[in-house]
């Protein structure tokens, strides 16, 4: 294991670390988001897309984070399956609802951007469809965990499902290259594809979403740790 996760694998150390890291990340997210929104909303209208280009500052970070959170969910699920580590399982469980919410945002803001640009709220385009599949994987993960009464069995089944879902990530990423899609190709990673007046606020918003996810993830893992401690204490009290 790499040093950082190994350090945080101890619940006591994790709780001590997340106690100050979560508010720090949250405050960073708010400040960076304010700067990104200020610059983004002050950016000039695009010569082709007009004012709708401003949807980019909330759509692109949501789409990137939808995939990034799934990578976190996959890694945490793998660690939970292989090492049977409770904190890794809590991390997977905590990541799923955030990932589902971000994927939902990517789909909805994309639809609101697509309607004036493409003339359609939705098309069965490879990118859109693969992101919808990603959303369904998140929903299936949450539903599977919730539907099995035995928490450990539910966690194992959901972790396996999460690992299967990893197959979809390269499909989402490369869909715009593998198939003829209405959705545009990647502009974030193509040098010079985006004018600095748009690229600056977009990178700020990406950072805001990343730090915001970090803060929310830590808070939700902390909640999971407390829940498990409460349930263990209740069990001890019942046996006494």
Partner 1 sequence: MPDFDFGKYAAYIWPAYLITAAVFAGLIVSSLGYARRWRRKAEELQRK
Tokens matching residue 226? 């407390």
Q: Which of 9, 112, 133, 139 binds partner 1 (CB under 8 A)?
A: 112
CB 85, min distance to partner 1, A: 20
Residues 207-226, one symbol each (x = binds partner 1 by CB under 8 A, - = not), give -----x---x--xx-xxx-x
Binding segment for partner 1 among 38-46, 129-137, 162-170, 178-186 (CB under 8 A)?
Answer: 38-46
- Touching partner 1, residues 53-82 (CB under 8 A): 54-55, 58-59, 62
Q: Is 105 in the site for partner 1 (CB under 8 A)?
A: yes
Q: Is 8 in the site for partner 1 (CB under 8 A)?
A: no
Binding segment for partner 1 among 73-81, 108-116, 162-170, 181-189 (CB under 8 A)?
Answer: 108-116
Q: Which of 6, 16, 41, 195 binds partner 1 (CB under 8 A)?
A: 41
Q: What are phi and psi of 50, to 5 degrees?
A: 65, -140
Q: Is 51 in the site for partner 1 (CB under 8 A)?
A: yes
Residues that bind partner 1 (CB under 8 A): 37-38, 41-42, 50-52, 54-55, 58-59, 62, 97-98, 101, 104-105, 108-109, 112-113, 115-116, 212, 216, 219-220, 222-224, 226-227, 229-230, 233-234, 237
């Amino acid at each position: 294991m790499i040093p950082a996760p190994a350090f945080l694998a101890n619940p006591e150390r994790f709780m001590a670390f997340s106690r100050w890291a979560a508010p720090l990340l949250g405050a960073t997210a708010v400040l960076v988001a304010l700067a990104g929104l200020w610059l983004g909303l002050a950016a000039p209208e695009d010569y082709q897309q007009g004012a709708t280009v401003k949807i980019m500052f909330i759509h692109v970070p949501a789409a990137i984070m939808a995939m990034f959170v799934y990578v976190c969910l996959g890694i945490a699920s793998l660690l939970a399956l292989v090492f049977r580590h409770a904190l890794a399982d809590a991390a997977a469980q905590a990541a799923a609802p955030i990932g589902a919410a971000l994927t939902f945002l990517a789909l909805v803001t994309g639809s609101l951007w697509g309607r004036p640009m493409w003339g359609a709220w939705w098309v069965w385009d490879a990118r859109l469809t693969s992101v919808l599949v990603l959303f369904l994987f998140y929903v299936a993960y949450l539903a599977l965990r919730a539907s099995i009464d035995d928490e450990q069995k539910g966690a194992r089944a959901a972790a396996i499902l999460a690992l299967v879902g990893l197959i979809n990530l390269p499909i989402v990423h490369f869909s715009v290259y593998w198939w003829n899609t209405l959705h545009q190709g990647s502009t974030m990673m193509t040098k010079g594809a985006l004018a600095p007046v748009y690229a600056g606020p977009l990178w700020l918003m990406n950072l805001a979403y990343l730090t915001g996810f970090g803060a929310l993830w830590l808070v939700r893992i902390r909640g999971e740790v407390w829940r498990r401690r409460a349930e263990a204490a209740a069990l001890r009290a019942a046996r006494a």
